[in-house]
Structure 1
Amino acid sequence: MNIGKKLYEGKTKEVYELLDSPGKVLLQSKDQITAGNAARKNHLEGKAAISNKITSCIFQLLQEAVTSYKSNHKYLSFCIKTAFTRKCGETAFIAPQCEMIPIEWVCRRIATATGSFLKRNPGVKEGYKFYPPKVELFFKDDANNDPQWSEEQLIAAKFCFAGLVIGQTEIEFGVDVTTKEIVLADVIDNDSWRLWPSGDRSQQKDKQVDNVSGFLSLLRSSNTAFPLIITLPLRLYFHYLLSSIFCLFLSEPIGLGCSTILSPEGSAQFAAQIFGLNNHLVWSKLRASILNTWISLKQADKKI
């Protein structure tokens, strides 16, 4: 692959031209996690591969999702157009070159403390559910912290990208410079959302849980009465451990408790020990496991 000059670099990705494929670009994910408009950032080994895999899978899913509707007694079908060609290695994918519309549309189902809605709307309680989902738009301007815009401002701006005038119906998309079509562009990965499975804040899943500084893990521990267990791939463990120690002693108050365990098996064992305090069946199985381990060690010792 003949990679040309860098066309763009953002917080979590880089875009390069492809000299052998006019109209195509390479989107390279970065092992970087940011917060607060990149005011805080950390290197996280392996994050680029995870982000690229998620983005590729979602784009492929959207391309394959065909929507049908009835119009004038006929069924019509269409698919969602995306700026995605194919995955390229572990940390990059190939896409049509686009001119990006500098508007970010945010869809909210639940008001969360980690989002901006509660800060801008004092009096609304965390966990408030929007019906229908709350849709807001922001002008992408890092220097001014991405100010909120109205639809009227968007229309009045009279944006024009790749020869296409942007009006009320265009979203956080890009304009394909070759076909002049609006397509779903950029990336869609774990930096793009905050998830509360079944509306349960304690199971919140977003980019903050990947932060190797350990700060947010400790912060979550300080806001829950439930035990917190952190398990990471082996290649991330020592990086995380050192940053967590640094954060704990230099930034965080005494009195926080969360466990960092190297292996998934160890995390499962620790969780079983917690459940075993109030569940005699789990406790009995743990005791049997300990006894079997003890017997195996004795037998091995005799053979030696």
Structure 2
Amino acid sequence: MATLKEVGGYKLGNLIIEGKTKQVYDVPTSPGNCILVSKDRITAGDGVKSHQLVGKSVISNKTNAKVFEILNKIGLKTAFIKSVADNAFLSRKCEMIPIEWVTRRLATGSFLRRHPGVKEGYRFTPVKHETFFKDDANHDPQWSEEQIISAEFKVNGVVIGKHEVDLMTKTSILVFEILEKVWQTRDCALIDMKIEFGVDEQGVLLVADIIDSDSWRLWPSGDKRLMVDKQVYRNLTTVTDKDLDTVKRNFEWIADQLDHLIPPNNHLVVIVMGSPADKDHCDKIKRYCEELGLNVEIRVASAHKTTDFALEIVSFYEGLCIPIIFIAVAGRSNGLGPVLSGNTDFPVINCPPGSRDDLSRDIWSSLNVPSGLGCSTVMYPETAAICAATNIALSNYIVWSRLRLKRLGYFESIPKADKIVRN
């Protein structure tokens, strides 16, 4: 593949590195970034098996872009910026960590060879996580956590220690679980996958490189006989043009499935306040909800003073035929939450406003509800948003992923704070 001069309107600088299936170029007009250009090449067995596959670069780039757009929408830290051509994308320039991070849901492939006696299809709960040192000459040997830490890789000024290894482990598992839920919406089982990490010039650890059909095993309807991933190519003892056409059609099918993902956005959190005086409290709930990817509307209705209007609001939202969560904001004698709960089968969360002194006195009207009602009560706006999100997350992988990312954020930030305090 010849050295390129321009891609997608970007003038290219030096060729930074060339691999079996891609080239990486510097971009002088976009400091800190680079462009990855995919090749029409498919390989297996550390490059021992290799064939030209016309069109693969375009399919790979399309698949990669769809995957990273999902990860970026959730808020995960990735190197991917945007596609700039059919076969190329703009990325943060990273120094790569020479480790492949593999997550498995079912036992198959190399795992069975390394663990004789384990039956194919053994289900890992939680998922199985493994790491491999990138070394083609030695067939990418498996490494332990201790080996990675002991190697003391220094990547763009960052020494890869235990915290970094733990963070990459948790992140790679999160990426797998997110994409597992994505593929479930297409009745396709994600069996295992690998990802890589890099560190950008600011020292930020990022999910990097490419995630495409070379990166995973996919079994439609969970049936290995229907596999559509690169394993089809790996299994070939001889490779004909017809075989390559089959592999290409499989890759095209995968890209097409990602194209037909329906964004899971059909839900609504309705915050109903008993008085306009509670708007600041409701605005806080709304802000926390939106940070978790929730759609929110705020309404005003008093269960005591405008009971019919409150019930009209409930009836209107029930008629939308989408998942609804009601958050009732009413202080003093809270009739709003119980009245809503008594007239809908959607979840109702009470989140009374006011100072802590008021809450200690007024909260009993939210807690001590009549029998037969199922509304819950929380005290803080963020808690109300999280409770709403956990309900929506049952059928929405974006919201579920943001909740998981929130937990990952704690793991990343608290040890950093601890280190600052200790120093």
The answer to whether the aligner puts 1:95 opposite 2:104 as a matched pair is no
CA distance in 1, matches of 2:144, 2:28: 39
2:81 is matched with which residue: 82, 85, 88? 85
In 2 relative to 1, CA 189–243 (structure 1 residues): closer, same or farther, beyond 3 Å? closer
Number of aligned residues: 208
Superposed CA offset, 1:40-70 (max 9, x none)? 01110000000000111111111111xxxxx
TM-score, normalized by length of structure 2? 0.46
Question: What is the 5 A alignment of 1:240-251?
Answer: 240-241=241-242
Q: What is the identity, as a one-letter code, of the residue corresponding to 1:103? A: I
The answer to whether the aligner puts 1:58 opposite 2:59 as a matched pair is no
Partner of 1:192: 215
Q: Secondary structure at the match of 1:191?
A: coil
In 2 relative to 1, CA 218–2 (structure 1 residues): closer, same or farther, beyond 3 Å? closer
Superposed CA offset, 1:119-159 (max 9, x none)? 11111122222121111111111111111111011111111
CA distance in 2, matches of 1:197, 1:129: 17
Partner of 2:349: none
The answer to whether the aligner puts 1:23 opposite 2:32 as a matched pair is yes
Contact kept, 8 Å, 2:53 with 2:244, in 1: the verdict is no
CA distance in 1, matches of 2:77, 2:132: 23
Partner of 2:11: 2
Q: What is the identity, as a one-letter code, of the residue corresponding to 1:205? A: V
CA distance in 1, matches of 2:65, 2:104: 23
Superposed CA offset, 1:50-96 (max 9, x none)? 0000111111111111xxxxxxxxxxxxx101101110110000111
CA distance in 1, matches of 2:243, 2:223: 30
Q: Secondary structure at the match of 1:184?
A: strand
- Structure 2 unmatched runs, 5+: 1-9, 169-195, 250-423
2:199 is matched with which residue: 163, 175, 183? 175
The answer to whether the aligner puts 1:122 opposite 2:116 as a matched pair is yes
Q: What is the identity, as a one-letter code, of the residue corresponding to 2:142? A: Q
Q: Secondary structure at the match of 2:20?
A: coil
Q: What is the identity, as a one-letter code, of the residue corresponding to 2:197? A: F
C-alpha RMSD of the superposition: 2.5
Q: What is the identity, as a one-letter code, of the residue corresponding to 1:53? A: K
Superposed CA offset, 1:149-208 (max 9, x none)? 11011111111111111123243310011x210011000000000112343111112124
CA distance in 2, matches of 1:128, 1:217: 26
Identity %: 52
Bigger radius of gyration among the two:
2
1:216 is matched with which residue: 229, 236, 239? 236
Moved more, 195-204 or 14-23: 195-204
Q: Secondary structure at the match of 1:37?
A: coil
Q: What is the identity, as a one-letter code, of the residue corresponding to 1:106? A: V
Q: Secondary structure at the match of 1:205?
A: coil
CA distance in 2, matches of 1:37, 1:93: 24
User: Shift of residue 242 of structure 1?
Assistant: 9.2
Partner of 1:139: 133
2:106 is matched with which residue: 97, 104, 110? 110
Contact kept, 8 Å, 2:12 with 2:27, in 1: the verdict is yes
CA distance in 1, matches of 2:244, 2:90: 34
- Give the number of the structure whose residues are more often helix, by fraction: 2
Q: Secondary structure at the match of 2:15?
A: strand
CA distance in 1, matches of 2:120, 2:21: 28
Q: What is the identity, as a one-letter code, of the residue corresponding to 1:151? A: E
Partner of 1:205: 228
Contact kept, 8 Å, 2:41 with 2:53, in 1: the verdict is yes
Superposed CA offset, 1:187-231 (max 9, x none)? 00000001123431111121244x4x9x73989xxxxxxxxxxxx
2:151 is matched with which residue: 157, 175, 182? 157
Partner of 1:286: none
CA distance in 1, matches of 2:145, 2:17: 27
CA distance in 2, matches of 1:13, 1:242: 22
In 2 relative to 1, CA 95–55 (structure 1 residues): closer, same or farther, beyond 3 Å? same
CA distance in 2, matches of 1:208, 1:42: 14
